[in-house]
A and B are shown apart, each in its own frame.
Chain A
Amino acid sequence: MNGYVEKKKLKLDPRTKLFLIIVIATLEMVDVNIWFTLAVGTIPFLLFLSNRQFLGAVKYFALFSLAAFIHVHRVSIQLNMFLNMIVVLLGGLVLKLAPAFTCSDYILKSTNVSEVIAALAKMKVSRKIMIPVSVIFRFFPTMKQERHAIHDAAAMRGIIITRKKFWENPMRAIEYRVVPLMISIAGTGDELSAAALSRGLDNPAEHTTYTDVRFTGRDIFAVLFVVIFLTSVYLISR
């Protein structure tokens, strides 16, 4: 027994998450009215809270409410024409795109690779799709780390976008950013495929897994909540 106790998180089945994000990505593009958009935007916020990503939740809340504020007051904003357009368009873009982006961030942070594979296998997805998807899931966090490390190194030499040195030779600066990333990822990738192949990735038989993926009461609750919440908002606000 060690003293570490994992904080309670609401764990959802990956399939439920997929369903939720498809619902959000589809509905946020439907122009009903501002209330409906706000209701769709609330769901990623709740998901963030359920995964204890409080900082992300606050940032998202601030950004989204700012965008909603701009959207509501877009007629009365009096700036110069060009600036006005940028502000209004940006607000609109945030309103439309932020919920789904946030939701994908939540999914990446709350799901591990074996859960993804188990869920995809249960959905009878072809292995041709399954393997690349699981590799991508495995790689996004790694690439983020690498990118930050490379950014730090570049910043030390002054080749970041805010410095003069960057603009002396922008293409060079981009090259210095992308090429190291590429080399390190290609190396990691080779190791990964060697490891995966030696563990029998190519075996055509059905693979077993320790990870137990199944629908629980929480999933039913989440789906029902979202469906009822959105329909009622839609009906009331219409």
Chain B
Amino acid sequence: MNNNKLTGKDLITVGIYTALYTICVFITGMFNAIPIFYPIFMFLGPIVTAIPMTLYYIKIEKFGMLTISGLIMGAFWYICGYTWISLVCIIPTALLADILYKVLGHKKFSAMVVSYIFFSMGMLAGPANLWFAGVSYWDGIRESMGDQYAEQLAKYMPTWFMPIAIILIALGSVVGAFVGKKMMNKHFKKAGIA
């Protein structure tokens, strides 16, 4: 049974860990209720989700699993109201993560870190959405409250937020990968599931 086709077992694994990942994003996403806390989420999100993702990465032996996760999550966030931006953010990054993990070698820690950084970039969907929605929001503000107010507001929600978010996510992912590895050795091996 050493072929590259995804079996039923693999697909169930995809389902379980996609669900776990989504729940973890939800838990940390509580910070998102207030946009100012986005930076915290960008850093903390990858660290928390690293715990299920390390488990997931260990079980991945075939190409395609991460891509399917990405497809489902993209559709899920679209349905939850994060617009087409979620599709654009999540699906390509998941595909890229999948390719990288395949190329660099499955079950290697270094490959996992690189792949995980790209997979986490899907989280940009949240702030990107706010950023794009922000553009029309700015116009509304400018009309109703005047230029001065809008400029003051821009200090708190700057447009250079996106590159910072990318850096934060990358940092968070690297830290997260190590946290995940530690968790793996500390808990999961003991419990016998890894």
- A binding-site residues for B, Cβ under 8 Å: 21-22, 24-26, 28-29, 31, 74-75, 81-82, 85-86, 89-90, 92, 96-97, 99-101, 103-104, 127-129, 131-136, 138-140, 143, 147, 174-175, 177-179, 181-183, 185-187, 189-190, 192-193, 196-197, 201-202
**Per-residue A-contact encoding for B1-41, CB less than 8 Å = 1, 0 else:** 00000111101111110111011100100000111100000
Residue of B nearest to A133 (CB): B72
For the complex, give the distance between the alpha carbons of A86 and B37 in Å. 11
Min CB distance, B125 to chain A, in Å?
13
For the complex, give the distance between the alpha carbons of A132 and B10 in Å. 9
| CB-CB under 8 A for A104 and B80, given A86-B34, A183-B191 | yes
CB of B153 within 8 A of CB of A85, answer: yes
Name 13 A/B residue pairs within 8 A (Cβ), A-sorted. Answer: A24-B81, A25-B79, A75-B144, A97-B80, A131-B8, A132-B69, A133-B72, A139-B15, A175-B183, A179-B183, A181-B23, A186-B193, A192-B12
Residue B156 is within 8 A (CB to CB) of chain A in the complex: yes
Min CB distance, B126 to chain A, in Å?
11
A-chain residues with CB within 8 Å of residue B22 when the two chains form the complex: 136
For the complex, give the distance between the alpha carbons of A138 and B13 in Å. 13
A-chain residues with CB within 8 Å of residue B13 when the two chains form the complex: 189, 193
CB of B51 within 8 A of CB of A178, answer: yes
Q: CB within 8 A of B79: which of A82, A104, A127, A197?
A: A104
Q: CB within 8 A of B187: which of A100, A140, A183?
A: A183
Residue of B nearest to A94 (CB): B33
Question: Interface SS of chain B: helix, strand, loop or mixed?
Answer: helix
A-chain residues with CB within 8 Å of residue B136 when the two chains form the complex: 31
CB of A136 within 8 A of CB of B80, answer: no
CB of A139 within 8 A of CB of B35, answer: no
A-chain residues with CB within 8 Å of residue B52 when the two chains form the complex: 178, 182
Residue B103 is within 8 A (CB to CB) of chain A in the complex: no
Min CB distance, A231 to chain B, in Å?
21
CB of B156 within 8 A of CB of A85, answer: yes
CB of B12 within 8 A of CB of A178, answer: no
Tier of interface size on chain B: 35 or more
Residue B68 is within 8 A (CB to CB) of chain A in the complex: yes
CB of B68 within 8 A of CB of A182, answer: no
Residue B55 is within 8 A (CB to CB) of chain A in the complex: yes
CB of B55 within 8 A of CB of A182, answer: yes
For the complex, give the distance between the alpha carbons of A25 and B81 in Å. 5
Residue of A nearest to B51 (CB): A178
CB of B80 within 8 A of CB of A197, answer: no
Q: CB within 8 A of A193: which of B12, B78, B80?
A: B12
Q: CB within 8 A of B8: which of A103, A179, A183, A197?
A: A197
A-chain residues with CB within 8 Å of residue B36 when the two chains form the complex: 86
CB of B156 within 8 A of CB of A140, answer: no
Residue B188 is within 8 A (CB to CB) of chain A in the complex: yes
A-chain residues with CB within 8 Å of residue B19 when the two chains form the complex: 135-136, 139-140, 143, 185
B-chain residues with CB within 8 Å of residue A132 when the two chains form the complex: 11-12, 14-15, 18, 68-69, 72
